[in-house]
Structures are given as C-alpha cells and as structure tokens.
Amino acid sequence: MITNKKLKIVILSRNADLYSTKRLVEAAEQRGHEAMVIDHAKCSVLMEKSKPAIMYNGEFLHKTDAIIPRIGASVTFYGTAIVRQFEMMNVFSTSESQAITRSRDKLRSLQLLSREGLGIPKTVFAKHPKNLDVEGLIENVGGAPLIIKILEGTQGLGVVLADTTNSAKSMIEAFSGIKTNILIQEFIKESRGVDIRAFVVNGEVVGAMERRGKEGEFRSNLHRGGKGTIIQLTRKETNTALRAAKAHGLSIAGVDMLRSSRGPLILEVNSSPGLQGIEGATQVDIAGKIITFIEQNVTKRIKRNLHIK
C-alpha cells in the first residue's frame, strides 16, 4: 500500500456481483482499504450553499476518499450527475464526469479523435438521410459493405453490417423513418472480425488483448461470444491508445482499435471497460493497478493539503 492511510473507496456499480465490481473490491481490501459498492441509480444529491452532499438508502455519505465509477450506458446522465456531485465534495474520481460524458457520445468521441489526428474508420453522420443523397453517403465511406451504428448502442448491440448497397439504403431509410440517430461507417475488410482492446491506467497501457469474433460474426465483442488472447502492441498502437484516452480526459479507458492497411483505427473509447476479459487474457492484476492509481492520487492530495495548512 503506497499510502499509510486506510482509504474509503466507493465503487459506483448497479450490480455488486459483476466480475469487475468484485475484483475492485477484492483489490482494495487486499491493500487494507475499505471498499463499498453503491448503486448510483439509488443515490440522491442535496445542494445548498457550500454544502454539496449525497444520500444513499436514507443516509448521508461521509468521508469518502475516492470513487471508481462503473456507469452503464443506460444511466449515463444520472450516473455522471452522481460522479459530478462527488467531485463537488472534493472526492477523487478515477474517471471525471465530463470525460465519461465525452466517451459515451459516440459522435462527439469520433469528432475528438478526428481533431487529434488519430486514425478512425471513415464515418458519416446525417440527421435525416431520407432527405439527402443516401447513395452519396454510402459512397463517402467507400461503398458497401459498410457498418451502421446506433449512437446509443453498447457491447456490440445496435451495430449492423450491410453487405450490399441496396441493403444499406434500406437500413438507413428504415432508421431514418423511426428517427434514430445513426453513424454510417466504413467496413475494414482486412480486420476479419478481429480487433484490439488496449487497457489504459494513468497514462500507461497495462494490458492488451486481441478479440476475435465467433464464426460468422463480424463483431468481436466478448459479450457477443468473442474470444480474447494476449498480444503485444506495436509502438504506434500503444501511442494511439494513450492519445485517445488523453483526448477524452480519461485516466482509465479501454481503447478498441482495428489493425488496418493504413495503421490502427479507433472504434471506441470505453470509460467503464470490463476487467474479466482483459485480466483473463493477460493475467495482469489490472484491478490492483487501479487501486494503486487511487493511492498515488490520494497521497498527493494529502501532501498538498498539509502543505497548504
């Protein structure tokens, strides 16, 4: 344990039985800290002059040293509001609320990555494709086959492959008809259903795996039956992952990339990456590295406060 102080660490998770949640509790307790799992959807915030507070199960939460947000996509707005309230209470968070929001908005995330000069698949976003030249949109991403993504999708859900121009037109028009926001994205043929997950903690790639989709599946997500194996990243892939996390302001991130003929292309930057697949593939104690990251930052805060006094 880096700090001699026993820390109270709150893990914001809606399910205490999830592998990632249990591993974080285990890692914290192994280092002599107190770990508490709280369902952020059951928290409420109290705001008054100079007294921000959080209530959980009818009681105020006091003396929290750090939080680890594990915010699901379906409760991003409320979950980040809870994280923001902890920040107002001067509690250290492994992921800042604003950074989580940036990563969850797929369109904004791609815009950030594009601005930073990082590789991404060619992508088109249009509000009402039915009123535009749909064939032109398809041509802008290199034609069929292509990928269509619902902006709110997660874990491979809301991602479809259109094999032909006609099927792409039909899907785009169908999504437009139900007023669903979509991204139209280039299909990287050479990836062959394989992608890379690089796990970043505090400016370092602490583990990386290759994820291979099951037979006949173009999505490589482990939640869709994909398999993960340890790999060694190239220097360019490592640098890309670190720059992607930094562009979002994330200290902890799972950066998903494709290996293409023009270098690594970023698919997504995940602010609540799962631990089971990456720890299983790499045999690295990533949960422990996250707790060490907390210890380092809390120690800095303690020293800074002592210096101020």
Residues 25 and 74 in one domain: yes
Collect all residues with Cβ–Cβ distance below 8 Å to 64 and sequence separation of at least 6.
8, 9, 10, 86, 89, 91
Q: Which of the residue ranges 169-173, 189-193, 216-220 would you say has the lowest mean pLDDT?
A: 216-220
- Name the H helices within 59-157: 76-88, 97-104, 106-115, 134-140
Cβ atoms of residues 162 and 168 within 8 Å: yes
Residue 209 resides in a domain: yes
Q: Residue 240: which CATH number? A: 3.30.470.20
* pLDDT tens digits, one per residue of 19-46: 999 999 999 999 999 999 999 999 999 9
Number of domains in the chain: 3
Residue after which a domain boundary falls, among 151, 166, 187:
187
Residues 209 and 106 in one domain: yes
Structural domain of 171: 123-187
Residues 225 and 266 in one domain: yes
Q: What per-residue confidence (pLDDT) applies to 179? A: 77
* pLDDT mean over 79-101: 97
Residue 279 resides in a domain: no
Residues 138 and 176 in one domain: yes
Residues 156 and 214 in one domain: no
Residue entry with tokens 């949640």: 21
Residue 244 resides in a domain: yes
Residue 76 resides in a domain: yes
Stated pTM of the model: 0.89
